[in-house]
């Protein structure tokens, strides 16, 4: 699951939201680390809808503009819960290794260079 999809699902976990509300909520939830562009958001929404993780909840006209509200499906809530558990387990393993590394003098790894160097996180920033 991409970082953008994770935060969109998280934004919808407590209530239906429209596009702009999702954008604001994702930015808040990520402490500003994820700032989706409108085109990216609607691409994510289309994929999540196709995967049946979210559905269109309702449409409303607000100040002459149509707002589409999306909500999580039961399957979407399950997928979000599973991803949150996976991420928590990974973070816990990393914390344990960091603690062990601090106990062992000189255990800090040298920087990786060459073809294996990279961001190291799946999904990257949206």
Q: What is the pLDDT of residues 32-88, one digit of tens each?
A: 999 999 999 999 999 999 999 999 999 999 899 999 999 999 999 999 999 999 999
Give me the pLDDT at residue 97, please: 93
DSSP state of 60: E
Handedness of CA 68, 74, 78, 84 (dihedral sign): positive
Q: Could you tell me the pLDDT band of residue 17, with boundaries at 50, 70 and 90?
A: very high
Please determine, for residue 5, whether its predicted confidence score (pLDDT) is greater than 70: yes
pTM for the full predicted model: 0.78
How many other C-beta atoms are found inside a 10 Å radius of the C-beta of residue 75?
Answer: 13
Percent helix, percent strand, percent coil in the chain, to nearest 5 = 50, 15, 35
CA–CA distance, 110 with 97 (Å, rounded to integer): 16
Residues in contact with 123: Cβ distance below 8 Å, sequence separation at least 6, in sequence order: 1, 2, 3, 4, 5, 6
Q: What is the dihedral of CA 42, 44, 46, 47, to 10 degrees?
A: 170
Give me the pLDDT at residue 113, please: 65
Percent of the chain with pLDDT over 90: 78
Percent of the chain with pLDDT over 70: 83
Q: Could you tell me the pLDDT band of residue 126, with boundaries at 50, 70 and 90?
A: very low
CA–CA distance, 11 with 100 (Å, rounded to integer): 35
Handedness of CA 105, 106, 107, 111 (dihedral sign): positive
């Amino acid at each position: 699951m991409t970082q953008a999809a994770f935060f969109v699902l998280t934004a919808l976990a407590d209530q239906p939201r429209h596009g702009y509300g999702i954008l604001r909520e994702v930015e808040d939830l990520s402490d500003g680390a994820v700032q989706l562009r409108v085109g990216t958001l609607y691409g994510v929404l289309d994929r999540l809808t196709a995967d049946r993780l979210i559905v269109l909840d309702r449409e409303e006209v607000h100040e002459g503009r149509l707002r589409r509200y999306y909500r999580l499906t039961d399957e979407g809530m399950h997928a979000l819960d599973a991803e949150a558990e996976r991420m928590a387990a990974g973070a816990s393993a990393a914390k344990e290794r960091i603690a062990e590394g601090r106990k062992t003098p000189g255990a800090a790894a040298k920087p990786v260079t060459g073809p294996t160097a990279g961001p190291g996180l799946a999904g990257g920033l949206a």
